[in-house]
């Protein structure tokens, strides 16, 4: 008899052919009438149930519904691994389940590494297993910096003349040599020599140490090639030095990487850098979305996509700013990106969230025409207008540093939700162009010891609770037409809760992942909780990105609705775990900030 469920999906697809065949021969079929309790609290589970037909509900001891299971979902792995069940599982409809007996399940765990890793580890590892298997993984991107990809370094001493150095470059067929000068290590490239001799008219017998660059950009051996590429993009260089325990072991050349690199992230980056006109920039911006789809399709981790896109987006905006704002005004103004862009968590473009700090009020008149143009360019880049008006062209979001400080003070003395949201938006700000010192001045307004223990902290945290976690909706498609709002339900409460903690503890980080790490270091969050939150956020972002790319609508970045039934069953179950974590985190916030009565 053929099996009536599809086991060709994680975690079963991690099994070998033999093990899968064995598994299929070990399944029993069990029937439960509607209303019957399948597993109760404290009961030992006879094994893993895999749903064939019907709906099963998981409830806590207080009757609170955690989640519902549908076809091909399974439960309860924890009860099997931990020998007793923590929740109650009830058949809501007549239900048919395949049952894999506990001892057979354990035997499978022992016989397959991938399979057991999936079950015995936390959400994050489960997810990375799923991510790895999902789609075609470009080998290059997952390749690491090792002896195959880098070149052995060729050294010259600092005393060597430029002529001799050029000769060595030709003989060794290297365009870059490392320079040993006393304890210092530097690098000199062909173009350095060119500039020294032709532009700066240095004599040919100048010591190479005088033209070499001693500020080396390095990557550690074993890092992903992708990270090396990010560093080159950030520093606008074409090679990085590879180290092992701080010892130089090689040089990684962009040209070597490019010859194998199939996506075009660097090409997009070069286009941005070389753009001479706004039109060039707009073309480059238009390629970003394609790039994201490519990277995602090749199975690149969502975290890597995120940091690459953040780097590119910021350079895009900075370049536009540089092209439009007169250079003499540069030190008088600072452009901030806010919201997800500020946190570096934007992948597909959402709306424009930005603000301007100016040194004096009278700069504003000189500046306004260029800012109007900049706003238009951002629209052309594909950032839609912000419906909430959080844009520097509105008077509310362009002030002098002093006025900003005053506003922050006013917000923090006012418990209204609008004031708190404004504060939240500004708190994620990241200066991308202009004079960054202006921002430091403004930021000190909320980095004050006196604020941390004040009531402002708990006012600030409150919005994290404003949306219900959509847990009971899962598996049951009767409300919201089978969709959940992933932003309200998962991302916002998590991000805002972490933001509130960052506010309370005076963190400078804006990225949620960095904030969580820092909070964990300061022992505000336990390592388990910190890891769980990070895993959940990555998961939400990954599922949302996949969903948005599939929709292929205009401005896909604005879509927050997830159709639960369109998710793969494994994603559905990961999502359930993630939302569960968010719910727990919200409960923790309630007790931490004493929000019980709000």
Partner 1 sequence: MRLPLWLRRRLPGYRPPPERWAHMELPYTGDDVVVVDCETSEFDKKKGQLLSLAAVVVSGRSIELSSALDLTVRSDAITHPDAVRVHYLRQEDRIYGVASADAIQQFLDFVGNRPICGFYIEYDRAILNRYTRELYGFELPNRFIEVSEIYVRQKRRYIPEVNLDLTFEGLARDLNVPVIDRHTALGDVVSTALMFIKLQRHSAS
The site for partner 1 (CB under 8 A) is made up of 1-2, 4, 25-33, 53, 94, 96, 99, 101, 104
Smallest distance, partner 1 to C-beta of residue 97, A? 10
Residue among 424, 422, 437, 411 at smallest CA distance from 358: 437
Whole-number minimum distance, CB 108 to partner 1, in Å?
13
What is the closest distance, in whole angstroms, from the C-beta atom of residue 37 to partner 1 in the complex? 12
Taking the least distance from each CB to partner 1, the nearer of 76 and 223 is: 76
Q: What is the dihedral of CA 340, 135, 572, 345, to 10 degrees?
A: -10
Instruction: Give the shortest CB-45-to-partner 1 separation in angstroms.
Output: 14
Q: Which of 306, 301, 296, 352 is nearest to 513 (CA)?
A: 306
Q: How far is the CB of 118 from partner 1 (least distance, A)?
A: 22
Tell me the β-bridge partners of 354: 337
**Residue-wise DSSP of 128-158:** HHHHHHSSPPPHHHH-B--TTTSBPP-EEET
Closer by beta carbon to partner 1, 32 or else 593: 32
Judged by beta carbon, residue 71 or residue 415, the one nearer partner 1 is 71
Closest contact distance (angstroms) between CB of 53 and partner 1 is 7
Which residues touch 254 (CB under 8 Å, ≥6 apart)? 229, 232, 237, 238, 239, 266
CA separation for the pair 395, 393 (Å, rounded):
6
**3-state class (DSSP) for residue 91:** strand
- Closer CB to partner 1, 85 or 408, in the complex: 85
437: how many CB neighbours lie within 10 A of its CB? 13
Give 101 or 287: the residue with its C-beta nearer to partner 1. Answer: 101
What is d(CA 586, CA 527) in angstroms, rounded to the nearest whole number? 17
Smallest gap from residue 494 Cβ to partner 1 (A)? 41
Distance of closest approach, residue 29 Cβ to partner 1, in angstroms: 4
CB of 12 to partner 1, least distance (A): 16
- DSSP string covering 233-291, please? HHHT-SEEEEEETTEEEEEEEHHHHHTT--S-HHHHHHHHHH--SHHHHHHHHHHHHHH
CB of 68 to partner 1, least distance (A): 20
What string of DSSP letters covers 480-496? GGGEEEHIIIIIHHHHH
Between CA 563 and CA 200 the distance in angstroms is 62
Cβ proximity to partner 1, 28 vs 479, nearer residue: 28
- Residue 48 CB, nearest distance to partner 1 (Å)? 13
Find the shortest distance in angstroms from Cβ 6 to partner 1.
Answer: 15
State the distance between the two ends of the chain, measured CA to CA, in whole angstroms. Answer: 57
Paired sense of beta strands 74-75 and 430-434, if any: unpaired
The two three-digit tokens of residue 165, written as one number: 């150095």
- C-beta closer to partner 1: residue 3 or 379: 3
> Which of 1, 255 has the CB closer to partner 1?
1
| Nearer residue to partner 1 within complex by CB, 28 or 172 | 28
Give CA–CA dist 512/518, Å, rounded.
Answer: 10
Nearer Cβ to partner 1 (100/408): 100
Nearer residue to partner 1 within complex by CB, 39 or 456 = 39
Nearer of residues 4 and 132 to partner 1, judged by Cβ: 4
Instruction: Report the nearest approach of partner 1 to the CB of residue 564 (Å).
Output: 24
Q: What are phi and psi of 47, to 5 degrees?
A: 165, -160
Q: How far is the CB of 270 from partner 1 (least distance, A)?
A: 59
How many CB atoms are closer than 10 A to CB 506?
Answer: 12
Residue with Cβ nearer partner 1 (24 or 133)? 24
CB–CB of 324/366 below 8 Å?
no
Q: Which two tokens stand for residue 353?
A: 């969230």
Going by the DSSP 8-state scheme, the letter that residue 44 receives in this structure is P
Q: What region, left, alpha or beta, does residue 122 occupy, with left being phi > 0 and alpha being psi -120 to 50 degrees?
A: beta
Q: Decide if 493 contacts 512 (C-beta within 8 A).
A: no
Assign residue 84 a region (left: φ > 0; alpha: ψ between -120 and 50; beta: otherwise). Answer: beta
Burial of 436 (C-beta count, 10 Å sphere; 0-12/13-18/19+): middle
Q: Which is nearer to partner 1, 33 or 222 (CB)?
A: 33
Report the relative pairing of strands 239-244 and 218-220 from DSSP bridges.
parallel
């Amino acid at each position: 008899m053929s099996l009536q469920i599809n086991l060709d999906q994680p975690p079963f697809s991690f099994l070998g052919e033999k093990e899968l065949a064995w598994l299929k021969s070990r399944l029993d079929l069990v029937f439960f009438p509607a209303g019957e309790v399948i597993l109760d609290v404290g009961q030992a589970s006879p094994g893993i149930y895999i749903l064939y037909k019907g709906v099963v509900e998981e409830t806590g001891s207080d009757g609170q519904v955690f989640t519902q299971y549908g076809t091909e979902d399974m439960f309860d792995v924890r009860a099997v691994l931990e020998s007793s069940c923590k929740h109650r599982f009830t058949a809501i409809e007549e239900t048919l389940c395949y049952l894999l007996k506990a001892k057979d399940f354990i035997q499978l765990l022992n016989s397959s590494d991938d399979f057991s890793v999936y079950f015995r580890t936390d959400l994050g590892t489960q997810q990375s297993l799923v991510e790895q298997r999902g789609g075609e993984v470009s080998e290059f991107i997952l390749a690491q910096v090792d002896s195959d990809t880098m070149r052995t370094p060729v050294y010259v001493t600092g005393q060597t003349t430029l002529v001799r150095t050029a000769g060595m470059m030709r003989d060794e067929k290297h365009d870059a040599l490392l320079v040993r000068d006393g304890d210092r290590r530097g690098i000199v490239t062909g173009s350095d020599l060119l500039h020294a001799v032709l532009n700066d008219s240095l004599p040919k017998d100048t010591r190479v140490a005088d033209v070499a660059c001693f500020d080396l950009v390095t990557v550690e051996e074993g890092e992903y090639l992708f990270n090396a590429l990010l560093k080159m993009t950030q520093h606008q260089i074409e090679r990085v030095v590879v180290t092992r325990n701080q010892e130089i072991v090689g040089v990684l050349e962009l040209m070597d990487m490019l010859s194998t690199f199939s996506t075009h992230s660097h090409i997009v980056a070069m286009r941005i850098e070389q753009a001479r006109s706004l039109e060039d920039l707009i073309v480059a911006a238009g390629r970003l979305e394609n790039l994201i789809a490519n990277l995602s399709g090749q199975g690149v981790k969502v975290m890597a996509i995120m940091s690459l896109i953040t780097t590119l987006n910021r350079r895009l905006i900075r370049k536009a700013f540089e092209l439009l704002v007169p250079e003499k005004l540069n030190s008088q103004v600072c452009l901030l990106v806010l919201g997800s862009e500020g946190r570096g968590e934007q992948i597909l473009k959402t709306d424009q969230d930005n603000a301007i700090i100016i040194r004096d009020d009278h700069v504003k008149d000189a500046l306004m025409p260029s800012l109007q143009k900049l706003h238009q360019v951002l629209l052309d880049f594909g950032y839609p207008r912000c419906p909430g008006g959080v844009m520097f062209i509105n008077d509310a979001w362009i002030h002098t540093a002093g006025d900003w400080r005053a506003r922050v003070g006013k917000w923090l003395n006012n418990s209204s939700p609008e004031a708190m949201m404004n504060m939240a938006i500004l708190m994620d700000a990241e200066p991308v162009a202009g004079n960054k010192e202006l921002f430091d001045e403004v930021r000190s307004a909320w980095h004050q010891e006196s604020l941390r223990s004040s009531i402002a902290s708990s006012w600030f945290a409150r919005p994290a609770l404003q949306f219900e976690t959509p847990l009971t909706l899962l598996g049951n498609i009767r409300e919201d037409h089978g969709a959940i709002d992933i932003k309200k339900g998962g991302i916002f409460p998590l991000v805002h809760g972490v933001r509130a903690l960052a506010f309370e503890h005076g963190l400078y980080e804006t990225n949620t992942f960095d904030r969580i790490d820092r909070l964990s270091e300061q022992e505000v969050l336990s390592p388990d909780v910190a890891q769980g939150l990070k895993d959940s956020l990555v998961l939400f972002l990954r599922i949302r990105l996949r969903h948005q790319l599939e929709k292929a609508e205009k401005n896909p970045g604005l879509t927050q609705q997830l159709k639960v039934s369109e998710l793969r069953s494994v994603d559905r179950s990961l999502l359930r775990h993630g939302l569960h974590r968010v719910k727990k985190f919200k409960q923790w916030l309630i007790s931490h900030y004493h929000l019980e009565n709000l």
